[in-house]
Structure 1
Amino acid sequence: MTLPSANSVRRGFDTPAATITLDETARHRRRMRMVSDRLENGSTITFLLDLPQARLLCHGDGLVLDDGRIIEVRAEPEPLMEVRGSDARHLLSLAWQIGNRHLAAEITETMIRLRRDHVIRDMLIGLGATVQDIEAPFVPEGGAYGGVHASHHHDDHDHGHSHD
């Protein structure tokens, strides 16, 4: 049996055939077998995501199946930390510290969201940040070269500076 394929992503559509709820990591994909959330009748739609390039699927995107049906992407709430500074300059300094550790971060004018990490929490609190645990969809900034900046281990490469 051949699975239907989703080869494109669309914004703005009518009623979807189904939804699929994914965390941020699972929303950054190019090609993989996926299964929708359960429909009212208890069934699911199994399909192949087959996009031309990897991309972050956003809440509300529609995966267009080759038979015309649309699967709506929903961003799953994740355990995050919401970081706030005492003022804009302090928040900017906190953002620099987070960026220096190559952490995926969602940034607004008033706060930064990160995946929960007790070591990073302690560092940020030590720098005067207010840190609150929340559950929310995670939509980190895209990377400098057009993609989502995935976390990586510093032992995997040399980039000319130390994180000690």
Structure 2
Amino acid sequence: MLRVTSYVLAKDALDPAVSTVVLAHDGRHLRRKLLHLADGEMVMLDLKEAVLFADGDRLVIENGDQIEVKAAEERLYAITPRDGQHLLELAWHLGNRHLPAQIETGRILIGRDPVIRAMLEGLGAEVSDVVEPFQPVRGAYHSHGNHGSHGHHSHHSHQGSGHSHG
């Protein structure tokens, strides 16, 4: 079985991927795990420290081939504010509850929770059910660990791109 011992951030990925692995947002924080690829193969991920992977990041197999990490489609709420100020207020309420959120220019995506939906609607937001990839904003204290095959340590931001997936 092939092993994954390094990775490349999406923005630095130049080579085509030989396969993909589809993972939900809460399954993309990994250090050591057996991964089932979309083509039916399996690889052992074995990194020195845990890494929070984003959609498009690449896992590098010991033979040099790359596997693309794809964000799984998840059952979410799309929260639409009245305006930009309202979006900021809604984001504050969600952040105050420490909820993973993907914040975009005209909407916020969160995991489905009927209690939170009622709160948001009570605050005047339009809330709709969607199924799409989910890339929450990273926490302020999140470290990405070792990057690349050279073992150097650096920090990179993977915060939301502002692009809609749906």
In 2: Cα distance, 1:87 partner to 1:55 partner: 35
Q: Give 1:78's match in structure 2, choosing from 62, 74, 83.
A: 74
* Compared CA separation, residues 13 and 33, structure 1 to 2 (3 A): same
Match of 1:143 in 2: 139
In 2: Cα distance, 1:4 partner to 1:135 partner: 33
Q: Give 2:89's match in structure 1, choosing from 90, 93, 100.
A: 93
TM-score by length of 2: 0.78
- The 5-angstrom pairing of residues 117-156 of structure 1 reads 117-146=113-142
- Residue identity opposite 1:8 in structure 2: S
Runs of 4+ in 1 over 3 A off after TM superposition: none
In 2: Cα distance, 1:36 partner to 1:65 partner: 12
Given the alignment of the two structures, is residue 106 of structure 1 paired with residue 102 of structure 2, yes or no? Answer: yes
In 2: Cα distance, 1:135 partner to 1:116 partner: 10
Identify unmatched segments of 5+ residues in structure 2. Answer: 145-166
The percent of aligned pairs where both chains have the same amino acid is: 41
TM-score by length of 1: 0.79
Contact 1:31 1:49 in 2 (8 A): yes
In 2: Cα distance, 1:87 partner to 1:45 partner: 47
The alignment covers a number of residue pairs equal to 141
- Residue identity opposite 1:141 in structure 2: V
Shift of 1:147: 5.0
Q: Provide the alpha-carbon RMSD of the alignment.
A: 1.6
Q: Give 1:4's match in structure 2, choosing from 2, 5, 20.
A: 2
Query: SS at the partner of 1:21?
Result: strand
Moved more, 55-64 or 11-20: 11-20
Match of 1:41 in 2: none
- Residue identity opposite 1:61 in structure 2: D
More strand by share: 2
In 2: Cα distance, 1:88 partner to 1:16 partner: 38
Shift of 1:97: 0.9
Identify unmatched segments of 5+ residues in structure 1. Answer: 39-43, 149-164
